[in-house]
Amino acid sequence: MGVTDRQTGFPHRWWRALERHPPPVPGLDGRRWRSPLRGPWLTAVYGAVLLVGLPLVIITGLLDYAAYGPQFDQALPRDVGWLRLPPFDWPTRPSWLFRVTQGLHVTLGIILIPVVLGKLWSVIPKLFIWPPARSLAQMLERLSLLLLVGGILFEIATGLLNIQYAYLFGFDFYTAHYFGAWVFSAAFVAHVTLKLPRMISALRSRPALRDRHRPGQREPVRAELRTPLTATRPEPRDPDDLVAIAPGAPTMSRRGAISLVGGLALLLGALTVGQTLDGPWRRTALLLPRGRQPGTGPTGFPINRTAAAAGIQPDETGQRWRLTVRGGGRIVTLDRLRLLAMGQHTARLPIACVEGWSTRQTWSGVRLRDLAALVGVDDPASAQVRSLEKAGLFNQAILQANQVRDADSLLALRVNGVDLSVDHGFPARVIVPALPGVHCTKWVAEITFRTGTDG
C-alpha cells in the first residue's frame, strides 16, 4: 500500500514517462545510501516511540488551550472554529494540573526531538527516489508527508523559539503554533492510519530482546538489542526501499543507534526538566532561561514579565494605589492597608507558564470570594480582573466561577512571608490553583464580579 507499489496508476502513460525522465541529479538510483542500519525494523522502532509520545504532546497542547478559558474568548488564537476540545470549565484541582500539562507538553516535546531526527534520518533515502510517485495515491501520500514533516519541524522550531523568547519568525506565535499543530495532527493521523500495519509487521520481523529460534534452523535469529557491532548485518531487502542497495560496513550496531537517540533524548530531558523544579535542581536547566533565579531571597523566583516591560510607574503602585471592586451594582474602593486588615489566607500554589517552567511558592492575601462578598455577590459566575498595565496581551483576564470560589484563590499581597516585589505584581496580584501564569494578573487595579444574570 502507498508509496511502495511498483505498479503505475492511471494515467499509466504519464506515470511511466515521469519514471523514464529522471532529473540530472546524481544518486537517484539509491546507490549512494550506504548505512547498513537503515531498514523497516529500525524505522518502526523510532516510529513506535513517536506513536506513544506525540499524542501526549498533542493532547497536553490542546489541554493548555482549554486552560486559557476559550469560553471567554481569551484563549489564543481566538477564532478557531471547531478545531478545539469541547468546552469545559478548567478545574482548579489538583492545583498542579497546569504545571503538569504544560511541563509535559514542553519537556516531552523537547525530549522527542532526537527521535524525530532519528526517524527522519532512517527514511530520508525515500525523499530522493525517482520517480517520486507512480500513481495518484503515491502523489497524495507524498504531499501529506510534506505536511507531516513540515508540520513537526515547524512545531519544534516555533515552540523552541517561544520558550526562549526569540521571536525571530515575525508572526504571532499562538496562531502559528496552534494551527500548525492541527495540520501536523491531520497528517499524523493519516500517516498512522496508513502505516500502522506496516510498523507492526516490521517490528515483528526481527526479535528485539530475546533470540528467536526458527524450526529446522540451528542458529537462532539474534535479538537486535543483544547484537553487537561485529554481528550487525543489513536487514533483508524490503518493499519500502529503506534498506541500502549497496550497504557499507557498519560503524555502529542497531542497538547503538537506538541508544544514541535515547541518550540524546535523555540529555535534552536532563537539561530541560529543571525549569519545572524548585530548589537546587532548577539550575540543571543550564541552557534555558528558567534555569536561573533572577534574584535571591523570598521574591527571587522567576518572573514572567517585568514591571518595567509592562510600563508600571512607581507612583501608580505607591500610596496612590486603590483596588476597585465592582459587582451587583456596587463599587467598593480599598487601599492596601484595608486589604491587609481583611481576613488573610495562605496557600502554597504553583505558578506555571506556557513556556513550560513552573515554581511553587507560599502566597498570602485575601480570598477572591471574600472580595465578592464585600460587594454582595455570593455566587459569582465569573470575575474580570484588570491590571494597571495599559497595553499588553494579558493586562486583563476573566476567571470562571470555580476559579473565583476556590478556597485557595487569592488576591495575593504577600509571598513567602514578605510583600510582593514590584516584578511579582506589587501591590496585589491574583493567584488561582491550576490557572495559567499569565492569567494570574499582576498589579491588579480592578475586579468585577458577575452573577449569572449579568450575562
Partner 1 sequence: MDRPISRFRAAYGSSPQHLIAMIACFTLAGWVALRIAEEATAGRMLLWFVGAAVAHDLVLFPIYASADRVLRGALGRASHADSQSSTAHHPVPRRVGQAPSRPSPLNHVRVPALAAGLLFLVYLPGILRQGRETYLAATGQNQHPYLARWLALTATLFLVSGGWYVARRMRWRRVGSLNG
Q: Let me know: does 174 contact 76? Beta carbons within 8 Å.
A: yes
Cβ 74 to partner 1, closest distance in Å? 19
When asked if residue 153 is in the footprint of partner 1 (CB under 8 A), the reply is: yes
Per CB under 8 A, contacts with partner 1 among 86-115 are 110, 113-114
Per CB under 8 A, contacts with partner 1 among 156-175 are 156-158, 160-161, 164-172, 175
Of 28 and 264, which has the nearer Cβ to partner 1?
Answer: 264
Cβ 125 to partner 1, closest distance in Å? 11
Residues 329, 335, 339, 342, CA torsion sign? negative
Q: Tell me the helices (H) and strands (E) count for the chain, helix number first.
A: 12, 10
C-alpha 141/C-alpha 162 separation (Å) is: 31
C-alpha 275/C-alpha 266 separation (Å) is: 15
When asked if residue 187 is in the footprint of partner 1 (CB under 8 A), the reply is: yes
Of 265 and 371, which has the nearer Cβ to partner 1?
Answer: 265
Least Cα distance to 34 among 236, 247, 251, 237 occurs for 247
Provide the grid cell at 233. Answer: 548485518
Of 52 and 287, which has the nearer Cβ to partner 1?
Answer: 287
Cβ 29 to partner 1, closest distance in Å? 17
Per CB under 8 A, contacts with partner 1 among 5-24 are 5, 7-10
Beta-strand pair 410-415/418-419? antiparallel
When asked if residue 66 is in the footprint of partner 1 (CB under 8 A), the reply is: no
Q: Which of 59, 194, 398, 401 binds partner 1 (CB under 8 A)?
A: 194
When asked if residue 200 is in the footprint of partner 1 (CB under 8 A), the reply is: no
Cβ 82 to partner 1, closest distance in Å? 9
Per CB under 8 A, contacts with partner 1 among 328-387 are none
Cβ 135 to partner 1, closest distance in Å? 2
Per CB under 8 A, contacts with partner 1 among 214-273 are 229-230, 251-252, 256, 260, 263-264, 267-268, 271
- The DSSP 8-state label assigned to residue 446 in this structure reads E
Per CB under 8 A, contacts with partner 1 among 400-439 are 423
Q: Let me know: does 332 contact 403? Beta carbons within 8 Å.
A: no
Give me the DSSP letters along 75-129.
Answer: SSSS--TT-SPPP-PPP--STTHHHHHHHHHHHHHHHTHHHHHHHHHHHGGGGG-
Of 130 and 342, which has the nearer Cβ to partner 1?
Answer: 130
Provide the grid cell at 189. Answer: 493521523
Per CB under 8 A, contacts with partner 1 among 269-328 are 271, 286-290, 292, 294, 302-306, 308-309
C-alpha 54/C-alpha 58 separation (Å) is: 6
When asked if residue 51 is in the footprint of partner 1 (CB under 8 A), the reply is: no
DSSP-based three-state secondary structure for 136: helix
Of 256 and 298, which has the nearer Cβ to partner 1?
Answer: 256
Per CB under 8 A, contacts with partner 1 among 116-145 are 117, 120-121, 124, 127, 134-138, 140-141, 143-144
Cβ 333 to partner 1, closest distance in Å? 31
CA dihedral of 294, 300, 302, 305, whole degrees rounded to 10: -80
Query: In Å, what is the CA distance from 327 to each residue of 320, 333, 371?
Result: 23, 12, 10
DSSP-based three-state secondary structure for 69: coil
Cβ 170 to partner 1, closest distance in Å? 6
| φ, ψ at 200 (rounded to 5°) | -65, -45
Cβ 449 to partner 1, closest distance in Å? 31
Q: Which of 54, 97, 149, 312 binds partner 1 (CB under 8 A)?
A: 149
Of 120 and 225, which has the nearer Cβ to partner 1?
Answer: 120
